[in-house]
C-alpha cells in the first residue's frame, strides 16, 4: 500500500501520530484542515498519511504541528524526499509517484534452513516436525502419516570474505575526525548542520560508491516564495556564470534553494581536508551571496545589481 505524491506533499508515519499526536491521526487531519491555507487533499494507506499542498510555503504551518519523535518528510512528485529518509521508499513507475513505509518482512522456516525448527512447527511443505535429537530431525508427513528422519544441515556459518572499504564509511570517519556532529547517516548519505556568518546551514553529503563521486549539497535557510522565484532564477543564473567550483540550484516547484559541489573520491583517497573544504566552500559561498539574494526576494532589487554587489564583497 502507498500514498500518491503530487506537487509538495507532507508524508507522516501513521503509527507515530497515533502514539504521540494528541488525538491521533484524525486530530492531526482536523488541525491541518483548519490551516490557512489548508492542505488540498488528504490520503492514508494505513501506514503513512499524506497532505498535499499547492505551494511549499504553505507546508510550514503543517510542519509546526509535528514534533519529535513523529517521523515526517517533505516530498516532491519529481525529486522524491527532500532529505534522506531510510524509513520511506518511493517510485515513479507508471508515471505516478507513490511512497510507502519500509517494513521488514520475515520468511517461512523450513527444514532446509541452517537451523532447527521448533518441535510442533510445520515446514511449509505438508511436513510436521516432531523432534530433533543429535542433529537428526523427525518429521510427520501430514498426507500419508509416515514419519521421516533427516539429518539437519550444519549450522556453522561460512567465513565472511573481507570487504573492500566503502566511500560512505570513509566519509563518516572523516566527519568524525573533523569533529562535526552528523545525523541521518545511513548509507549513502550523511547530514551535517553548520553555522555560517549569516545563517545555520543544513548540508547533505552523498557517497556515490559506483561512480566514485562525493556530492556535497547545502541548503539555503529558507524556501524562496513563489512570487520571487523568477527573480531568484535570474540571480543564480548570473551568479553561476563563470563560477569555477560548484553551482546554485533552485527547485521551481517548491522554492528549495541550495549550493552543490562534487568531487571524485574513493574510500582510499578521501581525506578530512577534502570533506572539510567542500562543506566550508558551500557555506562561505552562501554567506557571500545570501544577503544580496534576500534583497532580490524581499526588496525586489534587480538581480544583476544584486549579483554585482555580492561579487564586489
pLDDT for the residue numbered 164: 56
User: How many domains are contained in the chain?
Assistant: 3
How does pLDDT run across 67-90, given as a tens digit for each residue? 657 888 888 777 777 777 777 887
Residues 95 and 228 in one domain: no
Any idea what the CATH number is for the domain that residue 306 is in? Answer: 3.30.1460.10
For residue 7, give the nearest of 85, 86, 97 by alpha carbon.
97
Residues 92 and 9 placed together within one structural domain of the fold: yes
Are 24 and 17 within 8 A, CB to CB?
yes
Please name the residue that has the C-alpha cell 563560477.
243
- Asked whether residue 71 falls in the same domain as residue 144, the answer is no
- State which H helix or E strand residue 281 sits in: helix 272-298
Nearest to 235 by CA among 290, 313, 312: 290
Does residue 241 share a domain with residue 183?
A: yes
For the stretch 4-37, pLDDT in tens is: 877 788 888 888 888 888 888 888 888 877 776 6
Look at residue 149 and tell me whether its pLDDT is greater than 70.
no
Percent of the chain with pLDDT over 70: 74
pLDDT for 265-303, tens place per residue? 999 999 999 999 999 999 999 999 999 999 999 999 999
Owning domain of residue 144: 115-152
> Do 52 and 79 share a structural domain?
yes
- Per the domain annotation, does 73 fall within a domain? yes
Q: Is residue 107 part of a domain?
A: no
Residue 157 lies in a domain: no
Name the grid cell of 133.
535429537
| 171 domain residue, yes or no | yes
Residues pairing with 120 in the sheet: none
Mean per-residue pLDDT over the chain, rounded: 80
Amino acid at each position: 500500500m502507498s500514498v500518491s505524491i503530487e506537487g509538495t506533499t507532507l508524508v507522516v508515519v501513521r503509527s507515530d501520530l497515533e502514539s504521540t499526536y494528541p488525538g491521533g491521526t484524525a486530530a492531526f487531519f482536523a488541525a491541518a484542515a483548519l490551516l490557512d491555507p489548508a492542505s488540498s487533499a488528504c490520503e492514508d494507506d494505513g501506514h503513512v498519511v499524506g497532505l498535499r499542498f499547492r505551494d511549499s510555503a504553505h507546508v510550514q504551518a503543517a510542519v509546526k504541528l509535528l514534533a519529535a519523535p513523529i517521523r515526517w518528510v517533505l516530498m516532491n512528485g519529481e525529486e522524491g524526499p527532500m532529505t534522506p529518509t531510510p524509513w520511506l521508499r518511493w517510485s515513479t513507475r507508471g508515471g505516478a509517484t507513490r511512497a510507502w513505509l519500509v517494513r521488514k518482512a520475515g520468511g517461512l522456516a523450513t527444514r532446509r534452513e541452517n537451523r532447527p525448527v521448533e518441535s510442533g512447527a510445520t515446514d511449509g511443505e505438508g511436513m510436521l516436525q516432531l523432534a530433533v535429537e543429535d542433529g537428526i530431525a523427525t518429521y510427520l508427513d501430514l498426507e500419508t502419516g509416515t514419519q521421516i528422519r533427516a539429518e539437519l544441515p550444519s549450522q556453522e556459518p561460512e567465513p565472511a570474505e573481507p570487504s573492500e572499504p566503502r566511500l560512505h564509511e570513509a566519509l563518516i570517519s572523516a566527519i568524525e575526525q573533523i569533529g562535526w556532529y552528523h545525523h541521518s547517516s545511513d548509507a549513502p548519505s550523511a547530514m551535517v548542520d553548520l553555522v555560517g556568518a549569516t545563517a545555520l546551514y543544513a548540508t547533505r553529503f552523498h557517497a556515490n560508491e559506483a561512480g566514485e563521486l562525493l556530492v556535497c549539497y547545502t541548503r539555503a535557510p529558507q524556501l524562496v516564495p513563489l512570487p520571487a522565484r523568477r527573480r531568484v532564477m535570474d540571480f543564480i543564473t548570473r551568479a553561476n556564470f563563470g563560477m569555477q567550483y560548484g553551482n546554485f540550484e533552485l527547485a521551481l516547484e517548491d522554492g528549495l534553494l541550495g549550493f552543490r559541489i562534487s568531487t571524485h573520491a574513493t574510500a582510499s583517497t578521501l581525506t578530512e581536508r577534502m570533506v572539510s573544504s567542500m562543506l566550508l566552500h558551500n557555506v562561505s559561498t552562501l554567506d557571500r551571496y545570501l544577503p544580496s539574494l534576500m534583497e532580490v526576494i524581499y526588496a525586489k532589487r534587480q538581480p544583476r545589481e544584486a549579483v554585482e554587489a555580492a561579487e564586489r564583497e
